[in-house]
A and B are shown apart, each in its own frame.
Chain A
């Protein structure tokens, strides 16, 4: 077919272009702008080139926050994915139990994040919290449980909160994947004399690969960008032990007003997220190819 001769058709793209410009490009370029200048006050800015980037890349606090972040996201995946699969496997397959368990499972997902923070603060408080008082009354711990007292306790509380909040999502995805397996597969496995473990390994797990990749992707990205939970619970402490990337970034930008370094750091953060998104997207594509037919 011949090329459309009328260039006015480009106007049809204009609304989309304007929206993308305001929602994405302009804010991003503002950050780029900040990251290349040292701003002393209104109208007093000096172009500094890549200095902020160099500074941030060499910043040991950022390194520490980055490793903390990787550790946290890794732990989240290690706990949430297997736990989600287990829950999905244990859920009823038919009858009224299905809707009941789905509703119960979805509860943590519909609670606002600040409420979740408050719930867990109260829950783990050593003076009035059910968990805090409970575990301390057992007298097993050398240092009484208090998430503000010991880094380990802060991490346990944060992980528990994250797992409680988001494992249901993994379970829901895994459940959807399990339900999509035709009954005939289970019959075939039965006729072959396959054990329950073999059925899981050779039928359920490979058939869930697609949804599980999506679950891994979502949980990885989301936990990598975690802000609300440590902000509400620990504020980054004790010390800097729960200062994740976003917490550090917000401190840098809004408390110390180091806009240049914070902007450079934002861009680095953004690139890391982008890189992992790309990697997961590629993995997802390959899974899609492998599962076809």
Chain B
């Protein structure tokens, strides 16, 4: 099966929720829709499911126009941010509910329910009510209910957001396995770049109802087409500093960061640019003599597990460095950071990417 959205707009009242969306999905593909809250991710899923009609544009399944066709007549399953289960039905009946409406015979329903429940490791909870389960188990039940339907289109609307950190990690890993066994179009929305990268497949970066970039997930991370994509696709946020290319060097920030041009940057014409540096590319120690040096003041050092986020200020811009290990800094103290010139993203003043990090650099740690 293939699903295509053609020039889809969604306007509610005076608000544009989606604008000119063109997307194609193929059976067996794994698709991530990445965007911040209110980017239009849920609106997009609802239109794909057939829960909402687009204000403009067409939806085609295998070339056939299904724009106005009711969700009941489509082969769709969906998992939500909230844990949606029938409150008065047991886990077993919850999972069986989509099959019962299809008129399948009892023993076959039983077989399928138990198979899916085993896959999601809730087979020992089948007699319980949703309210007697933990959040993770409730969401597993909801996922099982979506899976058992064996729909052509499986929509996951930020399914892990409301789970605690540990459960999220656990389920995220399991979902990858489960998705790979499915012959369906899987569409998964998230606000988290790390989640998008883990799921892989294709990504659609959405912002304010518009598509910013589509492509293979890892590739979009390596080459964000615009400043906006780089912002959406970075956590912690990517740092931007204005600067100028002159001859063989770029002078960044307060004109005091001197970066020798490397890789794609060597092709840059002289002029003003915006440079992007991922927070994990700020180093506390010099690794080569080409490294650019940044002098700054610490505004806050935030220790997060085994990492430290150092917030600092340079040229009136707030920047964040992400460092392994625990580092203690006094607020207001001076700090020197280093950046390898090969790690810089260069954007022109319109915000379009003109040079991305050299291949050997951009493979660095993802988060």
* Complex contacts, A185 vs chain B, CB 8 Å: 84
Chain A residues at the B interface, C-beta cutoff of 8 Å: 182, 184-185, 187-188, 190-194, 202-203, 205-207, 289-293
Q: Do residues A292 and B87 form an inter-chain contact, with CB atoms below 8 A?
A: no
Near A by CB (< 8 A), chain B positions 63-90 give: 71-72, 76-78, 80-84, 86-89
| The residue from B86, B87, B145 contacting A291, defined by CB atoms under 8 A apart | B87
* Complex contacts, A203 vs chain B, CB 8 Å: 86-87
Q: Tell me the bound Cα distance from A38 to B66 in angstroms.
A: 86
The answer, yes or no, to whether B260 is at the interface (CB within 8 Å) is no
Instruction: Kindly name the residue among A191, A193, A205, A289 whose own CB sees the greatest number of chain B CB atoms within 10 A.
Output: A191
Q: A187-B51, A190-B71 are in contact. Are A293 and B78 (CB under 8 A)?
A: no
Which residue of chain A is the closest to B151 with respect to CB atoms?
A: A191
24 example contacts (A-B, Cβ-Cβ < 8 A) are as follows A182-B84, A184-B80, A184-B84, A185-B84, A187-B51, A188-B80, A188-B84, A191-B49, A191-B71, A191-B77, A191-B78, A192-B101, A192-B149, A193-B72, A193-B101, A202-B87, A203-B86, A203-B87, A206-B86, A206-B87, A207-B87, A290-B129, A290-B131, A293-B134
The 3 A-B residue pairs whose C-beta atoms are closest, nearest first, are: A206-B88, A206-B87, A184-B80
Which residue of chain A is the closest to B130 with respect to CB atoms?
A: A293
Instruction: Kindly name the residue among A188, A205, A290, A291 whose own CB sees the greatest number of chain B CB atoms within 10 A.
Output: A188
* Complex contacts, B98 vs chain A, CB 8 Å: 192-193
* Complex contacts, B112 vs chain A, CB 8 Å: none
Q: Do residues B80 and A190 form an inter-chain contact, with CB atoms below 8 A?
A: no
Q: Do residues B76 and A191 form an inter-chain contact, with CB atoms below 8 A?
A: yes
Q: Tell me the bound Cα distance from A94 to B86 in angstroms.
A: 25
Which residue of chain A is the closest to B84 with respect to CB atoms?
A: A188
How far is the CB of A91 from the nearest CB of chain B, in Å?
22
The answer, yes or no, to whether B138 is at the interface (CB within 8 Å) is yes
Q: Tell me the bound Cα distance from A289 to B132 in angstroms.
A: 9
Q: Tell me the bound Cα distance from A293 to B78 in angstroms.
A: 20
Q: Tell me the bound Cα distance from A184 to B102 in angstroms.
A: 21
How far is the CB of A164 from the nearest CB of chain B, in Å?
32
Q: A187-B51, A191-B49 are in contact. Are A182 and B71 (CB under 8 A)?
A: no
Q: Tell me the bound Cα distance from A197 to B218 in angstroms.
A: 47
How far is the CB of A25 from the nearest CB of chain B, in Å?
40
Which residue of chain B is the closest to A195 with respect to CB atoms?
A: B101
